[in-house]
Structure 1
Amino acid sequence: MVITEKQVAEKINKLKKEKNAVILAHYYQRPEIQDIADYIGDSLELSRKAQQTDADIIVFCGVRFMAETAKILNPDKKVLHPNPESGCPMADMATVEGVLRLKKEHPDAVVVSYINTNADVKAVSDIIVTSRNAVKVVKSLHAKKIIFVPDQFLGSFVAKQIPEKEFILWKGFCPPHFNLSAKELLALKEKYPDAKIAVHPECNTDTAEIADFVGSTTQIIEYATTCEADTVIIGTEVGIEYALKKKNPNKKYIFPQAAEYCGVVHCCDMKKNTLDKVLQVLEEENNEIILDKELMEKARIPLEKMLSIS
């Protein structure tokens, strides 16, 4: 017998209550997953929720580093990841060996790691940042030299706003955001001359420079739904369209889809989580995030430093 999406959602909601579970979902998740989530947000919001929850089980609908972060902040809770294959190419670009080498080469530098890093890299970092709080956190540091890992474009965006500090940028990037070209956005601007352009700082520098607004996922949602423009061109993952339309359905949101360029910004890893997989992990309590205790203790320190500042 074929089970409908509604029936799957009902089973998930029933199991959540029975098992005292909470579902955290990133804005880039599928709409049906956002609908059954207890909390939806970007990396910073979900980090806070992960730290604050009283649930016994956390089901994290996002990519692996997000589920790892939830486990680091909640070492005594069971954290389940619906699809272990849902990783982050940017996070995988950063290595412990590379970070330690840079620390040795620049002993007076502070290692600032984007939250989009794996647990082992967080463990050798001095402090963590998100796209929303990166400028604020880095400004608060006494160090004059910053090793920024792994996103070179977020690092460059931060460096431009803090010219008094020296930045050593790891050459990592987010493939979907990197492939969004300024040329494509300008073509849309010609078609919609009254539109505003809002992009994520993970976009390449040329793209960010032509935007009216650059910010985190949540900041883009806030800007796009409240700015005076009736039309907003969105330069980030298409999953946020669902939240945008819920918050302000009277506006028009344009997501780049020009075939001659790169098409819509789409993270296939985020979309690997499905309702069926959420139901499965709740039923079987499998795909648990297991991390070494010492590693978690080391990785927790830079995360808590960030949370105390932001």
Structure 2
Amino acid sequence: MTTTTLWEGSASQIHDGPGGYNGVEATPEWAAEIKRLARERGATILAHNYQLPAIQDVADHVGDSLALSRIAAEAPEDTIVFCGVHFMAETAKILSPSKTVLIPDERAGCSLADSINAEQLREWKADNPNALVVSYVNTTAEVKGLTDICCTSSNAVDVVNSIDPDREVLFLPDQFLGAHVKRVTGRTNMQIWAGECHVHAGINGDELTAKSKAHPDAELFVHPECGCATSALYLAGEGAVPADKVKILSTGGMLDAARVTKSKQVLVATEIGMLHQLRKAAPDVDFQAVNDRASCPYMKMITPAALLRCLLEGKDEVHVDLEMAKRAQKSVQRMIEIGNPGGGE
């Protein structure tokens, strides 16, 4: 029996359930077949930091959504398989309009991106006609197309600081990142959309406080989308945790910090998929989740079965209207021109 026949048989076992496609285990044989099929299709596989460890390990590149989209644009392959949520694959398509972009399960959405749609943004802009719109990259292509400048969690402060201080700013969609930017910049003429990532919002201050008290020598890596970001700064301000041990970081920033930390233990407040890359970056450090239930069900829809189906059948392809993509690309490009776009969210 050839390898292809073996995996065609396994593909017949793929079934669609409530959490996505299942029926295939992430064995070494599966990984070898994924690599073979990617070569056959002329595809490069990108995986976000929040993906299942098996998906991260089989990918050609792992990182934040913007970093991966920029890699997609520069990759020699004509097909991009984006293992992440839908807005990320859209961003890759925006930056690589001539390439085929596939997502292993197009139903993998995002609660943060879904917290504002184009019609809501149009109404907000109409109510504030002189304001500049700054959108986090965790938004749909349509929202990016109505945006003046995009930002990442790495450069949101720089983006807002680049705007005339007398110009009003509409910041969307994440209220916790927006609060962080407003606090750091001291900007008063900034309205913030009340959106959130349900996973990050669920990592609360009480959990962070309890965890830090139980591990007083640990560093804290806190994503600015987290509901506990303010609590982390409060703990530092009160002296409960040394200020130099509290770091508000994007996922890319967490990896950079992990490689140079002198701490033996780090408490991490973000989606738990990030722990896999952190542990690979610094295997001698004990990384612990502030909330070990902080798992995104949408990210975890990209299963071994879904990835196999994607490469066997060329599904699901991501399409973005060309005119919309051109408008969205301008808002991303303005951000890149400001500098320090970082890895992404």
TM-score range, shorter chain: over 0.9
What is the Cα deviation at residue 17 of structure 1?
Answer: 1.5
Specify the SS of the correspondent of 1:154: helix
Q: Is 1:59 aligned with 2:88?
A: no
Mapping of residues 90-109 of structure 1, within 5 Å: 90-109=112-131
What is the Cα deviation at residue 94 of structure 1?
Answer: 0.6
Specify the SS of the correspondent of 1:201: coil
Counterpart CA distance in 2 for 1:188 and 1:18 is 48
The counterpart of 1:175, out of the listed 188, 195, 198, is 198
Counterpart CA distance in 2 for 1:283 and 1:149 is 38
Mapping of residues 240-259 of structure 1, within 5 Å: 240-257=274-291
Specify the SS of the correspondent of 1:58: strand
Q: Is 1:24 aligned with 2:46?
A: yes
Q: Is 1:219 aligned with 2:253?
A: yes
Q: Is 1:203 aligned with 2:237?
A: no
What is the Cα deviation at residue 222 of structure 1?
Answer: 2.0
With 104-113 and 170-179 compared, the bigger mean Cα shift is at 104-113
Q: Which residue of 1 aligns with 2:20?
A: none
Cα deviations by residue, 1:13-57 (Å, 9 ceiling, x for unpaired): 112222221111110001111111111111231132122222110
Q: Is 1:150 aligned with 2:173?
A: yes
The percentage of aligned residue pairs carrying the same residue is 40
What is the Cα deviation at residue 198 of structure 1?
Answer: 1.2
What is the Cα deviation at residue 156 of structure 1?
Answer: 1.0
Q: Which residue of 1 aligns with 2:267?
A: 233
Counterpart CA distance in 2 for 1:274 and 1:301 is 33
Cα deviations by residue, 1:193-218 (Å, 9 ceiling, x for unpaired): 11111110001253342460101011
Counterpart CA distance in 1 for 2:263 and 2:57 is 28
TM-score when normalising by structure 1: 0.93
Counterpart CA distance in 2 for 1:155 and 1:206 is 12
Q: What letter corresponds to residue 267 of structure 2 in structure 1?
A: I
Specify the SS of the correspondent of 2:106: coil
Q: Which gives a bigger RCO, structure 1 or 2 (Cα 8 Å, sep 6+)? A: 2
Judged with a 3 Å threshold, the aligned counterparts in structure 2 of structure 1 residues 223 and 182 are, in CA distance, closer, same or farther, namely: same
Q: Is 1:270 aligned with 2:270?
A: no
Q: What letter corresponds to residue 18 of structure 1 in structure 2?
A: E
What is the Cα deviation at residue 118 of structure 1?
Answer: 0.8
What is the Cα deviation at residue 184 of structure 1?
Answer: 1.0
What is the Cα deviation at residue 6 of structure 1?
Answer: 1.4
Q: Which residue of 2 aligns with 1:298?
A: 327
8 A contact 1:60–1:80 mirrored in 2: yes
Q: What letter corresponds to residue 218 of structure 2 in structure 1?
A: A
Specify the SS of the correspondent of 1:238: coil
Instruction: List gaps (5 residues or longer) in structure 1.
Output: 258-262
- Aligned residues, how many? 305
Counterpart CA distance in 2 for 1:29 and 1:115 is 18
Q: Which residue of 2 aligns with 1:260?
A: none
What is the Cα deviation at residue 165 of structure 1?
Answer: 5.2
Specify the SS of the correspondent of 1:141: coil
Q: What letter corresponds to residue 168 of structure 1 in structure 2?
A: Q
Q: Is 1:160 aligned with 2:187?
A: no
What is the Cα deviation at residue 142 of structure 1?
Answer: 2.8
Mapping of residues 32-43 of structure 1, within 5 Å: 32-43=54-65
TM-score when normalising by structure 2: 0.84
Counterpart CA distance in 2 for 1:54 and 1:65 is 22
Larger radius of gyration: 2
The counterpart of 2:154, out of the listed 109, 119, 132, is 132
Give the CA RMSD over aligned residues: 1.7
Q: Which residue of 1 aligns with 2:207?
A: 184
Counterpart CA distance in 2 for 1:227 and 1:9 is 32
Q: Is 1:81 aligned with 2:103?
A: yes
